[in-house]
Amino acid sequence: SRDEKIAIIGSGLIGRSWAMLFASVGYKVCIYDILSEQIDSALKEILVQLKKLEESGLLRGKISAVEQHKLITGCTDFKECVAGAKHVQECVPESIELKRKVFEQLDAVADDKMVLCSSTSTMPASSFTEHLTHRAQCIVAHPTNPPYYAPLVEVVPAPWTNGVVISNTKSLLEEIGQTPVVLKKEVLGFVLNRIQYALLNECWRLVQDGTISVEDVDKVMSDGLGMRYAFMGPLETAYLNADGWKSYSERYADTIFNVAQDFGPTPRMEGETLEIVHNDLASRIPLDKLNERRAWRDARLAGLAKLKKEM
């Protein structure tokens, strides 16, 4: 990877994270943004973050924070940023018009080999690449926030994505220490958010019908289900809870089916329940303290990531 280049389009939260991850294994990273001040602040903030990570022993890769930072440069010219890159990671805001526009720009300057990869959380690549000359090189790699500590990346090819582009994207993500999962086909919301939304909906319903408090329903995850889920998924959890899946099915399939019949329609996250959920959280975590709480969260996620590596 040493002499190869990665281009990042959009230098917000996710663009900065990708830049750090690619530089951690020695890639030359070039960052582009429509706002030049965003590029400047990205380069400054990345240095601060890399140094902090180094001090706390959490820096990824084998080279120092300063060396990693030297690999990251900014560029105010789109074409120059992309030129010679083996992989372009698009990180502009989540809007279909913007994704279309940026992928048309990429299509105009791409060579026949570079991977054109979007960080989109929800939009299938087929919805913004169909008309492009280089559409076979387009793919989605949806990271999990914060990417430095939560390594999962959903790789979602469009129906026309070339197989080599899929395998190269997967290998690149593994090389930088992330955990790629490749979806076999496009699906609305991808997989992580479909599962997350199922959970959010049920938490919402349980608060809405007065079964449990906001604080306690969150505890069910953080001190219950989440303890296991940090190490294994729900399917393996169930497998271990009985003597394999056949035995789990014999014991619990009817119960699960019957309980699931009771879930009811999909709730809308608005109205009275929205007031209850928001006010309850705001009383414990005021809106002007969100950054402190995010730092608290990231420190814990870093600790968990370290534990998972050591075990």
Binding positions for ligand NAD, rule: CB under 6 A: 9-15, 33-35, 38, 91-94, 98, 102, 119-121, 142-143, 145
CB of 272 to ligand NAD, least distance (A): 28
Q: Residue 15 or residue 267: which is nearer to ligand NAD going by CB?
A: 15
CB of 39 to ligand NAD, least distance (A): 8
Q: Which residues partner with 182 through β-bridges?
A: 155
Q: Residue 227 or residue 299: which is nearer to ligand NAD going by CB?
A: 299
Cα separation, 217 vs 207, in Å, equals: 8
Coil/strand/helix, residue 204: helix
CB of 101 to ligand NAD, least distance (A): 6
Contact 29, 73 (CB under 8 A): yes
Q: Quick one: 290 exposed, middle or buried, by C-beta within 10 A (0-12, 13-18, 19+)?
A: exposed
Position of tokens 């699960």?
Answer: 256
CB of 311 to ligand NAD, least distance (A): 26
Cα separation, 89 vs 309, in Å, equals: 26
Cα separation, 162 vs 184, in Å, equals: 13
Q: Quick one: 155 exposed, middle or buried, by C-beta within 10 A (0-12, 13-18, 19+)?
A: buried
Q: Residue 176 or residue 207: which is nearer to ligand NAD going by CB?
A: 176
Q: Residue 71 or residue 123: which is nearer to ligand NAD going by CB?
A: 123
CB of 64 to ligand NAD, least distance (A): 26
Name the residue number minimizing CB distance to ligand NAD: 12
Q: Residue 191 or residue 238: which is nearer to ligand NAD going by CB?
A: 191
